[in-house]
């Protein structure tokens, strides 16, 4: 959160909750990002009924990604769309990115039929219904869109439920319906009825595949389909990772977000123009970067996503909700605690929250005389209450005069959002390491299929062995004591172009010899580079501490402990005559760029040039603008180099850099394709 004290906290969730309580219709709130949506969901669940808040998450993949939407998100979406009209009054929270997506028609998500206890239906009839929806038959059900049969029992994993179903049929009638746990395979609870819906975001039946083939061929008349793996997989009825790049080809008609959820009153809490434009530019950038692969031809952005003008029209049709200011802004939690001790909140109740158990204990200890530890906001009776909970922004309930502050939010600590219900840890037995039908690799024999455990008689001794099937149904039995020789094959098992190895062939042995030779060669190259590096000398980069302190003080946020520690180590490294070779790791938004800027500042003021290499043109533009803004008060010349820089301008930039007129150069990999003189470079 910014240090600017004039930027008062906004009372988002309370104003929204008040509006919700005063009206009789369900609301859909469009936020600027998935993170803001999660904040809002956390806040609303604190002051409204938990079941009345629903989060429609982003797809969690990039535009034109090589991966598919995670199964968990597909499952959540099916459940939300399928039940949206049956929920009582509620709030649906989504982000601006959801407005760019195309969706199937509502009927696609709907349950095709309901079944109750004592419904007359044979096992064969139910299997035919499940298979018509393209569910895959498995030995044990583990993922959505799968089913298994044992005697008169059928297990079905449909996306509209959190757990898979176990249906028992006797004498052509449904005798029992239960949910069961995927890990333990044990029943969880019973039901009186159930529904079945499509199990995938695309229905890979014959009609859909035929439609896909026709549309793909019409759209790419000049492309040879034989060299497109995704096309070939879908044509042959195999699921293919990343098929979403052809999403519109699978449907006669698609809907936008407002058409999919047409029973809601839509509201926005902020101006989203900037976020919309940024995401639209990102889509265009991804299209340009990814379309170079001829084996993966791409649909134009305006055909795969909703065009920007259409999104903008939708956005302009959404009303804004007036948000009141809370009246405070604290640069740190310490400052908030000072306000509490100075009786700023003497006539109000204050709830202090943290998502870190140790911090909750510290707060309890500090305010032990005057505070209560509460589990619900409505339990706040004393002047100060302490509560454990997910991160939220400040909330003020003027009706009850309660202020709610979260320590990690006030201190601007980057928060990693987690699922409310983490998956159970798997047991360590063999059946939880490998599943029947999994690809496994034996270090001596190569790639095979795990086929469970078998008891084998060897010299009148009965022992349990791991059975692995190889090419041409060759079997290998591995003693359990040698399980360390097996490893999982980390490739999507639905991509069936994988060739098993043969026990009677030397191919695997030859592969190992080649791989070992490549590894040795690569290791030799690394040793050679490191050997030359250890003998090399670099120019020590040092500047006056007063100048550095001045630059650091202009940073408008609170440094995290990791930022401080990382920069301290880097500053030490670049002050030595030994060349620095460091990797700075951190998630998006964790402050890596600021650390790089401070190191660049030292290099530039040490009269040594800096080259910042970024992986994409978008990041080049972003970093260039960030560096310009950060160094605005200092005599540092900053330029950029990417594929959008004209040939004439590029030559000027290269000449100026070689003449030492440029202090910091922000560039993509094109910097290595030009006549750059790296002699005066102090930091790369």
Which of 199-208, 450-459, 625-634 is modeled with the greatest confidence? Answer: 625-634
**Residue 120 CB: number of other CB atoms within 10 A?**
9
Identify whether residues 606 and 635 lie together within a single domain.
yes
Question: Distance (Å, rounded) from C-alpha 150 to C-alpha 401?
Answer: 60
**Cα separation of 402 and 378, whole Å?**
10
The answer to whether 78 touches 62, Cβ cutoff 8 Å, is no
Q: What are phi and psi of 341, to 5 degrees?
A: -65, -25
Answer with the one of 290, 320, 350 that is the final residue of a domain: 320
* Alpha-carbon gap, residue 8 to 396, rounded angstroms: 12
Sign, Cα dihedral of 255, 256, 260, 263: negative
Which pairing describes strands 27-31 and 265-268: parallel, antiparallel, or unpaired?
parallel
Tell me if 8 sits within 8 A of 328, measured CB to CB.
Answer: yes
Residue 389 is encoded by which pair of tokens? Answer: 């909970």
Residue 513, in any domain of the structure:
no
C-alpha separations of 407 from 88, 388, 488 in Å: 34, 10, 42
3-state secondary structure (DSSP) of residue 440: strand
| 106/541: higher pLDDT | 541
Average pLDDT over residues 647-671: 89
Does residue 560 lie in a domain region?
yes
Looking at the fold, whether 461 and 584 belong to one and the same domain comes out as: no
Q: What is the pLDDT of residues 531-570, one digit of tens each?
A: 887 778 888 888 888 888 889 888 888 888 888 888 888 8
User: Most confidently modeled of 133-137, 409-413, 629-633?
Assistant: 629-633
From 410, 443, 471, give the residue that closes a domain.
Answer: 410
Q: Do residues 130 and 97 share a domain?
A: no
Please give the pLDDT value at position 259: 93
**pLDDT (0 to 100) of residue 199:** 62
**Phi, psi (5° rounding) for residue 210?**
-60, -40
Cβ-Cβ contacts under 8 Å for 183 (sequence gap 6 or more): 424, 426, 427, 432
**Burial class of 88 by CB neighbour count within 10 A (0 to 12, 13 to 18, 19+):** exposed
Helix/strand/coil for 487:
strand
**Whether the predicted pLDDT of 240 surpasses 80:** yes
Rounded distance between C-alpha atoms, residue 500 and residue 41, angstroms: 47
Residue 616 falls inside a structural domain: yes
Q: How far apart are CA 509 and CA 515, in angstroms?
A: 10
**How far from 537 is each of 275, 531, 582, 604, 660, CA to CA, in Å?**
46, 12, 16, 19, 21
Task: Check which CATH number belongs to the domain holding 655 and give it.
Answer: 3.40.50.300
Contact 552, 544 (CB under 8 A): no
Please give the Cα distance from 74 to 81 (Å, whole number).
Answer: 11
Mean residue pLDDT across the chain: 85
Cβ neighbors of 473 (< 8 A, separation 6 or more) are none
Q: What is the 3-state secondary structure (H, E, C) of 557-598?
A: CCCCHHHHHHHHHHHHHHCCCCCCCCCCCCCCCCCHHHHHHH
Q: Are residues 185 and 84 in the same domain?
A: no
518 within domain boundaries = no
Residue 198's Cβ-count burial label (10 Å; 0-12, 13-18, 19+) is buried
Structure tokens at 44: 């609303």
End-to-end CA distance of the chain: 30
Local structure of 386: helix, strand or coil: strand
Question: Largest Cα–Cα distance in the chain?
Answer: 89
In this structure, what are the phi and psi dihedrals at residue 68, rounded to the nearest 5 degrees?
-95, 165
Distance CA 657, CA 637 (A): 10
- Find out whether 30 and 272 touch, Cβ atoms under 8 Å: yes
Strands 349-354 and 319-320: unpaired
Last residue of a domain, one of 320, 347, 376: 320
Q: Which two tokens stand for residue 549?
A: 């302190």
Q: 191-195, 411-415, 434-438, 525-529 — which is least confidently predicted?
A: 411-415
Tell me, yes or no, whether 554 and 674 share the same domain. yes
What pLDDT sits at residue 12? 92
Count the domains in the chain.
Answer: 5
Q: Are residues 116 and 153 in the same domain?
A: yes
Task: Tell me the two tokens of residue 318.
Answer: 């959404």
Q: The domain that contains 131 carries what CATH number?
A: 3.30.2060.10
Q: Rounded to an integer, what distance in angstroms lies between the CA atom of residue 143 and that of residue 325?
A: 46
Both tokens assigned to 580: 């620095």
Domain CATH number, residue 352: 3.40.50.11140
pLDDT tens digits, 559-600: 888 888 888 888 888 888 878 888 888 877 778 899 999 999
pLDDT for the residue 430: 61
Q: Are residues 99 and 125 in the same domain?
A: no
Q: How far is CA 487 from CA 7, 271, 438, 439, 449, in A?
A: 54, 51, 10, 9, 11
What per-residue confidence (pLDDT) applies to 496? 54
Residues near 464 by beta carbon (within 8 Å), at least 6 away in sequence: 453, 454, 455, 456, 480
Mean pLDDT to the nearest integer, 379-386: 84
Is 524 inside any structural domain?
no
Is 282 part of any domain? Answer: yes
Report in angstroms the alpha-carbon separations of 579 from 514, 548, 573, 574, 605: 34, 21, 8, 7, 18
Same domain membership, residue 592 and residue 472: no
Decide if 219 is inside a domain. Answer: no
Give the pLDDT of residue 491.
63
State residue 417's pLDDT score.
57
What's the confidence (pLDDT) of residue 459? 60
What angle in degrees, to the nearest 10, is found between the helix axes of 545-553 and 592-605?
150
Summarize pLDDT for 354-377 with one digit per residue, the tens: 888 778 888 888 887 667 788 888
Query: Quick one: 495 and 564 in the same domain?
Result: no
Same domain, 369 and 491: no
Distance CA(326)–CA(350), nearest Å, equals 13
Task: Give the C-alpha separation, 35 to 252, whole Å.
Answer: 33
At 291-340, the pLDDT tens digits run: 888 889 999 999 999 999 999 999 999 999 988 899 888 988 999 999 98
pLDDT band, very low/low/confident/very high, at 4 (cuts 50, 70, 90): very low
DSSP state at residue 673: G
Per-residue pLDDT tens over the stretch 489-543: 876 555 556 788 888 888 888 888 888 888 898 888 888 888 887 778 888 888 8
Measured over the CA atoms of residue 548, residue 551, residue 556 and residue 562, the dihedral's sign is negative
Q: What pLDDT is stored for residue 433 in this prediction? A: 74
Angstrom distance (rounded) from CA 103 to CA 93: 17
pLDDT exceeds 90 at position 112: no
DSSP symbol at 200: S
Query: Is 426 a residue whose pLDDT tops 70?
Result: no
User: For residue 2, which of 679, 555, 560, 490 has the smallest C-alpha distance?
Assistant: 555
Here the CATH number for the domain that contains residue 454 is 2.40.10.170
Output the pLDDT for position 420: 37
Q: To the nearest whole percent, how much of the chain has pLDDT over 90?
A: 31
Average pLDDT score over residue span 267-291: 92
Residue 309 confidence (pLDDT): 95
Record the pTM.
Answer: 0.58
Residue 230 falls inside a structural domain: no
Smallest CA-to-CA distance from 543 within 495, 609, 607, 469 is with 607
297 and 365 housed in the same domain? no
The 8-class DSSP code of residue 52 comes to G
Q: Cβ of 550: how many Cβ atoms within 10 Å?
A: 12
Task: Indicate the length of the chain as a whole number.
Answer: 684
15-44 tens-digit pLDDT? 999 999 999 999 999 999 988 999 999 999
Q: What percent of the chain has pLDDT over 70?
A: 93
Decide if 579 contacts 603 (C-beta within 8 A). Answer: no
Question: Cα–Cα distance between 196 and 132 in angstroms, integer?
Answer: 11
CB 176 within 8 A of CB 189: no
Q: Say how far apart CA 626 and CA 592 lie, in whole Å.
A: 13
Structure tokens given for 324:
């009141």
| pLDDT single digits (tens) 598-622 | 999 999 999 999 999 998 888 889 8
Same domain, 297 and 338: no
Count other C-beta atoms under 10 Å from residue 50's C-beta.
10
Distances (CA, A) of 37 to 40, 91, 94, 237: 5, 12, 6, 37
User: What does the alpha-carbon distance between residue 445 and residue 435 come to, in Å, rounded to a whole number?
Assistant: 19
CATH code for the domain of 70: 3.40.50.11180
Q: What is the domain range of residue 70?
A: 12-103+254-320
**Contact indicator for 353, 404 with CB cutoff of 8 Å:** yes
């Amino acid at each position: 959160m910014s240090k600017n004290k004039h930027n008062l906290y906004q009372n988002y969730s309370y104003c929204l909750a008040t509006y919700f309580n005063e009206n009789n219709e369900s609301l859909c709130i469009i936020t600027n990002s998935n993170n803001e949506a999660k904040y809002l969901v956390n806040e609303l669940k604190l002051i409204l009924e938990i079941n009345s808040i629903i989060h429609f998450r982003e797809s969690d993949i990039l535009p034109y990604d090589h991966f598919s939407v995670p199964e968990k998100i597909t499952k959540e979406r099916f459940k939300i769309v399928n039940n949206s009209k049956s929920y009582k009054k509620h709030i649906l929270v989504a982000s601006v990115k959801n407005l760019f997506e195309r969706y199937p028609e509502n009927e696609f998500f709907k349950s095709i039929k309901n079944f109750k206890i004592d419904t007359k239906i044979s096992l064969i009839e139910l299997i035919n219904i499940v298979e018509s929806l393209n569910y895959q038959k498995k030995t044990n059900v583990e993922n959505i869109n799968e089913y298994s049969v044992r005697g008169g029992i059928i297990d079905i994993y449909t996306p509209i439920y959190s757990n898979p179903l176990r249906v028992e049929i006797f004498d052509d009638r449904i005798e029992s319906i239960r949910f069961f746990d995927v890990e333990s395979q044990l029943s969880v609870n019973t039901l009186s009825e159930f529904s079945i819906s499509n199990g995938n975001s695309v229905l890979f039946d014959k009609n859909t595949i035929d439609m896909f083939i026709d549309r793909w061929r019409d759209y790419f008349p000049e492309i040879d389909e034989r060299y497109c793996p995704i096309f070939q997989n879908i044509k042959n009825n195999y699921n293919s990772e990343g098929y979403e790049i052809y999403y519109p080809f699978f449907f006669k008609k698609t809907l936008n977000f407002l058409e999919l959820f047409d029973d809601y009153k839509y509201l926005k809490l902020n101006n989203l123009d900037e976020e919309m434009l940024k995401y639209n530019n990102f889509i265009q950038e991804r299209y340009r970067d990814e379309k170079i692969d001829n084996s993966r031809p791409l649909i134009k952005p305006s055909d795969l996503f909703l065009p920007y003008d259409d999104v903008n029209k939708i956005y302009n049709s959404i009303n804004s909700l007036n948000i009141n200011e809370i009246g405070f802004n604290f640069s740190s939690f310490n400052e908030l605690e000072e306000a509490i001790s100075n009786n700023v909140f003497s006539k109000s109740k204050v709830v202090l929250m943290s998502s870190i158990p140790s911090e909750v204990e510290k707060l309890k200890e500090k305010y032990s005389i005057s505070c209560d530890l509460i589990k619900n906001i409505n339990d706040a009776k004393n002047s100060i209450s302490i509560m454990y909970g997910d991160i939220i922004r400040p909330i003020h309930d003027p009706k009850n005069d309660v202020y709610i502050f979260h320590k990690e939010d006030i201190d601007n600590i980057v928060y990693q959002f987690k699922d409310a219900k983490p998956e159970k840890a798997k047991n360590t037995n063999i059946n939880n390491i490998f599943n029947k039908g999994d690809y496994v690799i034996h270090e001596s024999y190569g790639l095979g299929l795990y086929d469970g455990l078998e008891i084998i008689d060897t010299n009148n001794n009965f022992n349990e062995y791991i059975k692995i099937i190889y090419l041409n149904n060759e079997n290998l039995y591995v003693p359990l004591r040698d399980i360390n020789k097996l490893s999982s094959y980390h490739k999507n098992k639905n991509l069936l172009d994988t060739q098993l190895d043969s026990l009677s062939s030397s191919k695997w042995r030859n592969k190992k010899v080649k791989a070992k030779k490549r590894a040795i060669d690569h290791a030799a190259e690394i040793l050679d580079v490191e050997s030359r590096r250890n003998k090399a000398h670099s120019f020590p980069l040092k500047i006056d501490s007063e100048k550095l302190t001045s630059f650091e003080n202009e940073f408008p946020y609170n440094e995290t402990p990791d930022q401080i520690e990382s920069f301290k180590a880097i500053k030490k490294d670049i002050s030595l005559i030994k060349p620095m070779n460091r990797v700075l790791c951190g998630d998006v938004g964790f402050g890596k760029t600021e650390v790089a800027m401070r190191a660049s500042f030292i290099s530039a003021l040490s009269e040594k040039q800096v080259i910042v290499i970024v992986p994409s043109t978008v990041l080049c533009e972003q970093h260039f603008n960030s560096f310009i803004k950060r160094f605005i008060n200092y005599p540092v010349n900053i330029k950029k180099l990417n594929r959008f820089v004209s040939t004439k301008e590029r030559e000027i930039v290269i000449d100026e850099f070689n003449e030492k007129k440029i202090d910091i150069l922000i560039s993509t990999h094109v910097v290595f394709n030009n006549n750059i003189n790296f002699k005066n470079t102090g930091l790369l």
